[in-house]
């Protein structure tokens, strides 16, 4: 009886805290207990990222890579031990689509559930990688003088809040070394509700500029790597302030139209009143257009003979190096997912629920995965790295190919 009584008190306390957390309530009403999904943008406030009149289309290779379906994948985790790709991505991961492009041609395409390669889906934190790209372009354009500039050079109103703001640089934002006291938590446990409410406010709040001004620091900027989304949101505000342009407009002008995207995209905003883009995770696009961003990075910042972003920016983003947990300028290299260096390492952008854009320059590969769930953080990039080795025609060092 006592245990039940205590459980009741805990539940009642949790309920009271949630009731006083407007952002959590707003999130529950909008998306339910599971939180935002890849089609949530359809009922959220968003801006349109426009495309141009001409579209680049990946052709389908004459010879499709049907051999992929017979490969077996290995992992230390039991889930991916000696099973096929489709089985590895089935079940709880709820994969919606896989798209693989080699040498500028589609060699493998599988769609499940509600998605097609031309349907918009939210890519969550892959948006951070796109925000990084915009930052690189803003540096090239001269709007941002240096990534070592203090954030307060662009957001001077933060100088009055905390001396730490003047120590925070754009490089710290790009490398998740901000020192901000913020967590990407989705836990409903009582001890996490305050931080959950902050995360819910980031996703569902109506005034993100105000939330940014209220941020505190847990340590000095540059002290340590700690992944959290507020850092990328601040980077998005810096880009808007530096360029004098709305996020969606600058992305349309510098990326979506030059890369000849086939479809307009969207980016969630905090509200129509404040109109601040969710630079941390709010972009929704198609699998094919997402693959074009991979093509841009594969070609070191060039698009059909035109320079979109500097080659040095691509290098700093994707170079194989386990410093900073393999995370540089909002991209991951695969040093973070294998026990030893792969034969031909790739790099990738990653979002919650297992959204992945993977690029392997040596094998001229671009791989995209869109899904509703993925309960193992590094599993999809790990599979793609093994699959990339198989494309090379050599025995992978981090996996094995079936006989």
For residue 199, the surrounding DSSP H or E stretch is helix 193-204
Supply the pLDDT for residue 374.
64
Between residues 225 and 20, the one the model is more confident about: 225
Supply the pLDDT for residue 401.
39
Is 64:294 a contact under the CB 8 Å cutoff? no
The rounded distance, in Å, linking the Cα atoms of 50 and 53 is 10
For residue 64, what are the contacts with CB-CB under 8 A and spacing of at least 6? 107, 108
pLDDT in tens, 138-183: 999 999 999 999 999 999 999 999 999 999 999 999 999 999 999 9
Beta-bridged to residue 42, according to DSSP, are none
pLDDT in tens, 97-126: 999 999 999 999 999 888 999 999 999 999
For residue 229, what are the contacts with CB-CB under 8 A and spacing of at least 6? 125, 128, 182, 184, 199, 202, 280, 281
The rounded distance, in Å, linking the Cα atoms of 133 and 91 is 34
Kindly state the average pLDDT of the residues 364-370: 97
Q: For the chain, what is the mean pLDDT?
A: 87
CA 144 to chain CA mean position, Å: 23
Supply the pLDDT for residue 113.
83
Among the listed ranges 13-22, 90-99, 222-231, 323-332, which one has the minimum average pLDDT value? 13-22
Kindly state the average pLDDT of the residues 78-104: 75
Supply the pLDDT for residue 20.
47
> pLDDT > 90: what percent of the chain?
66
> Shortest CA distance to 233 belongs to which of 199, 282, 280, 195?
280
The rounded distance, in Å, linking the Cα atoms of 68 and 252 is 35
The string of DSSP codes covering 99-135 is: EEEETTEEEEEEE-TT--TTS-EE-TTHHHHHHHHHH
The rounded distance, in Å, linking the Cα atoms of 264 and 261 is 7
Kindly state the average pLDDT of the residues 348-354: 93
> pLDDT > 70: what percent of the chain?
85
pLDDT in tens, 45-55: 999 999 999 99
For residue 327, the surrounding DSSP H or E stretch is strand 327-328
The CATH number for 46-143+246-403, chosen from 3.40.50.11740, 3.40.640.10, 3.40.50.1370, 3.40.710.10, is 3.40.710.10
pLDDT in tens, 291-335: 999 999 999 999 999 999 999 999 999 999 889 999 999 999 988
Supply the pLDDT for residue 363.
95
Classified as helix, coil or strand, 218 is coil
Supply the pLDDT for residue 379.
76
Question: pLDDT band at 10, cuts 50/70/90?
Answer: very low
Kindly state the average pLDDT of the residues 124-135: 98
Supply the pLDDT for residue 398.
40
Among the listed ranges 18-22, 203-207, 233-237, 252-256, which one has the minimum average pLDDT value? 18-22
In the numeric block, the tokens 């629920």 are attached to 353
Pairing verdict, β 46-49 and 265-268: antiparallel
Can you give the residue ranges of every domain in the chain?
A: 46-143+246-403
The string of DSSP codes covering 246-286 is: -HHHHHIIIIITTTT-SS-EEEEBS-TTT--B-TTT-EEE-
Is 97:111 a contact under the CB 8 Å cutoff? yes
Kindly state the average pLDDT of the residues 62-89: 73
Among the listed ranges 87-91, 204-208, 304-308, which one has the minimum average pLDDT value? 87-91
Between residues 20 and 285, the one the model is more confident about: 285
Question: pLDDT band at 12, cuts 50/70/90?
Answer: very low
């Amino acid at each position: 009886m006592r245990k039940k009584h205590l459980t009741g008190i805990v539940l009642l306390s949790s309920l009271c805290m949630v009731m006083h957390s407007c952002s959590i309530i707003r999130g529950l009403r909008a998306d339910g207990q599971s939180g935002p999904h890849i089609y949530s943008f359809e009922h959220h406030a968003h801006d349109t990222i426009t495309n141009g009149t001409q579209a680049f289309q990946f052709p389908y290779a004459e010879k499709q890579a049907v051999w992929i379906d017979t490969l077996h994948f290995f992992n230390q985790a039991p889930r991916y031990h000696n099973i096929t790709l489709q089985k590895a991505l089935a079940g709880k991961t709820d994969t919606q689509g896989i798209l693989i492009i080699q040498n500028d041609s589609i060699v493998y395409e599988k769609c499940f559930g509600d998605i097609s390669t031309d349907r918009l889906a939210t890519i969550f934190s892959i948006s951070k990688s796109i925000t990084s790209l915009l930052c690189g372009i803003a540096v090239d354009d001269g709007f941002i003088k240096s990534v070592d500039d203090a954030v307060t050079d662009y957001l001077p109103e933060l100088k009055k809040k905390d001396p730490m703001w003047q120590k925070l640089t754009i490089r710290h934002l790009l490398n998740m070394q901000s020192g901000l006291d913020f967590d990407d938590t989705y836990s409903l446990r009582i001890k996490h509700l305050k931080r959950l409410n902050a995360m819910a406010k980031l996703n569902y709040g109506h005034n993100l500029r105000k939330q940014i001004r209220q941020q505190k620091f847990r340590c000095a900027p540059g002290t340590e790597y700690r992944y959290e989304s507020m850092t990328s949101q601040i980077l998005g505000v810096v880009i808007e302030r530096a360029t004098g342009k709305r996020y969606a407009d600058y992305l349309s002008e510098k990326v979506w139209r030059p890369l000849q995207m086939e479809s307009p995209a969207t980016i969630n905003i905090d509200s129509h009143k404040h109109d601040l883009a969710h630079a941390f995770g709010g972009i929704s696009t198609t699998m094919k257009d997402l693959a074009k961003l991979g093509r841009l990075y594969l070609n070191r910042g060039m698009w059909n003979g035109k320079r979109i972003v500097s080659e040095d920016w691509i290098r700093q983003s994707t170079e194989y190096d386990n410093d900073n947990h393999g995370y540089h300028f909002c991209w991951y290299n695969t040093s973070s997912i294998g026990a030893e260096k792969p034969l031909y390492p790739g790099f990738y952008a990653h979002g919650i629920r297992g959204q992945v854009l993977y690029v392997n320059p040596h094998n001229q590969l671009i791989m995209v995965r869109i899904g509703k769930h993925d309960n193992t953080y590094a599993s999809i990039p790990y599979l793609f790295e093994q699959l990339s080795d198989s494309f090379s025609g050599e025995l992978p060092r981090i996996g094995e190919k079936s006989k």
